[in-house]
């Protein structure tokens, strides 16, 4: 576990400070830089002061948590077998409505809805008939479909699966018999998955805490403002009508929230953003993003290794991410360029949300990455030195997006900030220790939700990883070491 300044762990610190009662997000009123130790943030939060990132505590609450099965998850082969032979009829599954009740509970209870889409089926998706996204607990298998049987796209299944061995996502589509009988077929545009997901397929999903076009688009709930109230009215209308029939009828809505599967807006505090006693249960967009980010970081590492200069610079690149003694800080010019890009992306995302001139603009909706420009500049420089292209690293649809944050509190070591970089550090050190036993003792991982039942949230112990700096620096060429200079305060 990552240590806090008092020698405990982040999980234990969270439990000491937050029992009894639910956890909370950090308030967003301060604009200070987030280079604060985790225990300092917690102390300030108790005084209702500020730490800057809208991040989830590692141990969000100590309350009953779902017990997830350790049996193999439902996957592409499982779906194929089910589609070919329904256990209810011993015949091929005919419609999506027939399929949904046959799916395992894991899929039927992990879902979110899209009411406004940029996909080829956008004209078949609406607040009354949203697109459904089902996912396994670890998001290694995702299944989507539309709900309006009168529109094109009905009875078409689309899947996204992750192959760990190759670190690649795979997209597939299945036209069920009912769709074939209707004479409808997807257009060439709709049939081309790469048009949206890319040639090197990736999920298309915005980063925490904003998901324009999804129900629960702001922090998985419906804030009391013009946008949140309108979205909640639409969602309640959906729950009262279409949600009770058709493809939606077989879904398992968790009990305990009037806005299930999302957070009840009555429990939403716009100043503090309270989390109830079972927070992740009612945060499907957050859960989905956390799980996908963990898979996408494996894909990002693969793409980094495909850079023409990666093999020759692997250890110096890792040393740079760890901020070892020989690492240089990014230039102010590069940080300013990254900041400008983030501001443009943030504005575009708020426009997609539906923000109008004159609307209140709470900074809780801003990209947390706006405060992590230095860290993103370090990642961009590492990618450039490796000869790798970052254009499609993010899961956001926009090419060159810098949205990567998943919402998990981790990555702080003393006053050093490893947010976003920790994902690459995790993958690089994990692969390095597999090849070179000398690095074994410097790789130690922990799960942010250990004991809470969720399979995602695997993080690297930065304090252990920093011990590898000596070995990493030994691999540098003398002239590289001399040109890098001494970062003094960054030395382990």
CB atoms within 10 A of CB 12: 14
Question: Which H or E run includes 173?
Answer: strand 168-175
Q: What is the pTM of this model?
A: 0.84
Compute the C-alpha angle 357/361/365, nearest 5°.
130
- In the three-class reduction of DSSP (H, G, I as helix; E, B as strand; rest coil), residue 326 is classed as coil
Asked if the model's pLDDT at residue 382 lies above 50, the reply is: yes
Say which residue, 19 or 470, is predicted with more confidence: 470
- Tens digit of each residue's pLDDT (9 = 90 or more) over 144-168: 999 999 998 899 999 999 999 999 9
Q: What is the pLDDT of residues 441-476, one digit of tens each?
A: 999 999 888 777 889 999 999 999 999 999 998 866
Residue 122 has what DSSP assignment?
G
Q: Between the ranges 195-204, 324-333, 438-447, where is the mean pLDDT highest?
A: 438-447
Cis check for the bond before 152: say yes or no (omega within 30 of 0). no
492, pLDDT greater than 80: no
Reduce the DSSP state of residue 444 to 3 states and report it. Answer: coil
pLDDT the model gives residue 408: 86
Instruction: Indicate if the pLDDT at residue 486 is higher than 50.
Output: no
Coil, strand or helix: which one is 137? Answer: coil
Residue 96 has pLDDT above 60, yes or no: yes
Average pLDDT over residues 326-350: 91
Tokens describing residue 455: 């399979």
pLDDT exceeding 70 applies to what percent of the chain?
78
Tens digits of residue pLDDT in 283-316: 999 999 999 999 999 999 999 999 999 999 999 9
* Other Cβ atoms within 10 Å of 170 Cβ, number: 14
Q: Beta strands of 411-475 (E only): which ranges?
A: 412-413, 416-417, 445-447, 458-460
Mean pLDDT, residues 28-41: 34
d(CA 250, CA 252): 7
Burial class (CB in 10 A: 0-12, 13-18, 19+), 160: buried
The pLDDT value recorded for residue 5 is 26
pLDDT at 333: 95
Please report the pLDDT score of residue 20 as a whole number: 22
């Amino acid at each position: 576990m990552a240590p806090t300044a008092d020698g405990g762990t982040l999980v234990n610190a969270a439990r000491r400070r937050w029992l009894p009662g639910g956890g909370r997000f950090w308030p967003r009123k301060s604009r200070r830089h987030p280079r604060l130790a985790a225990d300092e943030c917690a102390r300030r939060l108790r005084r209702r002061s500020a730490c800057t990132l809208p991040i989830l505590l590692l141990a969000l609450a100590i309350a009953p948590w779902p017990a997830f099965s350790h049996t193999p998850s439902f996957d592409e082969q499982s779906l194929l077998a089910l589609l070919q032979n329904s256990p209810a009829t011993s015949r091929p599954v005919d419609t999506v409505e027939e399929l949904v009740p046959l799916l395992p509970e894991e899929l039927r209870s992990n879902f979110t809805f899209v009411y406004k889409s940029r996909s080829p089926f956008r004209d078949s998706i609406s607040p009354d008939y949203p697109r459904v996204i089902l996912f396994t607990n670890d998001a290694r298998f995702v299944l989507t479909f539309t709900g309006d049987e009168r529109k094109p796209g009905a009875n078409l299944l689309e899947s996204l699966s992750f192959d760990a061995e190759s670190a690649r996502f795979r997209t597939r589509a299945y036209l069920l018999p009912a769709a074939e009988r209707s004479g409808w077929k997807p257009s060439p545009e709709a049939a081309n998955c790469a048009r949206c997901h890319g040639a090197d397929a990736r999920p298309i999903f915005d980063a925490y805490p904003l998901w324009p076009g999804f129900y629960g688009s702001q922090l998985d709930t419906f804030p009391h403002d013009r946008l949140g109230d309108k979205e909640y009215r639409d969602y309640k209308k959906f729950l009262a009508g279409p949600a009770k029939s058709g493809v939606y009828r077989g879904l398992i809505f968790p009990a305990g929230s009037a806005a299930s599967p999302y957070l009840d807006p009555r429990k939403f505090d716009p100043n503090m953003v309270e989390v109830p006693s079972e927070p992740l249960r009612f945060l499907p967009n957050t859960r989905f993003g956390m799980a996908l980010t963990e898979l996408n970081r494996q894909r990002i590492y693969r793409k980094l290794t495909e850079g023409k200069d990666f093999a020759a610079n692997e250890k110096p690149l890792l040393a740079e991410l760890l901020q070892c003694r020989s690492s240089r800080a990014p230039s102010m010019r590069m940080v300013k360029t990254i900041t400008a890009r983030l501001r443009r992306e943030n504005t575009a995302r708020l426009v997609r949300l539906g923000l109008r001139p004159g609307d209140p603009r709470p900074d809780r909706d801003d990209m947390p990455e706006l405060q992590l420009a230095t860290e993103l500049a370090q990642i961009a420089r590492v990618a450039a030195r490796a000869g790798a292209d970052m254009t499609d690293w993010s899961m956001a649809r926009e090419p060159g997006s810098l949205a990567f944050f998943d919402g998990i509190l981790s990555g702080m070591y003393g006053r050093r900030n490893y947010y976003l970089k920790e994902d690459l550090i995790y993958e690089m050190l994990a692969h390095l220790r597999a090849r070179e036993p000398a690095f074994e003792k410097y790789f130690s991982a922990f799960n942010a939700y250990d004991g809470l039942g969720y399979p995602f949230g695997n993080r690297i112990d930065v304090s252990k990883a920093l011990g590898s700096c000596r070995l990493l620096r030994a691999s540098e060429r003398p002239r590289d070491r001399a040109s890098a200079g001494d970062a003094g305060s960054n030395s382990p």
